[in-house]
Amino acid sequence: MAANVQLPEALTHRLEKLAQEEGTTLEGLVRRLVSKHLERREGGSGQRTRNRAVLRKDVRLPLISKEETGVILPISGADLDEILACDNLAS
């Protein structure tokens, strides 16, 4: 995959200087930086699918501990119907 990117001249010069210091080309430096960025963004647990990053975040559940929320009872469709049927809901 190739892309053309227009950068400010000052930034281009800084990147060229950095690439020269690292003993690579500007294109090689940009490829390496983009690859590192994608690796960090994927967090090591992502996968590549048709040139698109699929991000997966590992989240511990519950997000809020039971000690902070108390017991939360499940709500059914009938419960929602009863709540929505009330005329005294705040607008």
| Domain extents in the chain | 9-85
Whether the CB-CB separation of 16 and 30 falls below 8 Å is answered with no
pLDDT score, position 73? 76
Segments of the chain with pLDDT less than 50: 46
pLDDT score, position 21? 92
| CA separation for the pair 55, 25 (Å, rounded) | 30
DSSP assigned state of 86: -
pLDDT score, position 82? 80
What global pTM score does this model have? 0.43
pLDDT score, position 23? 92
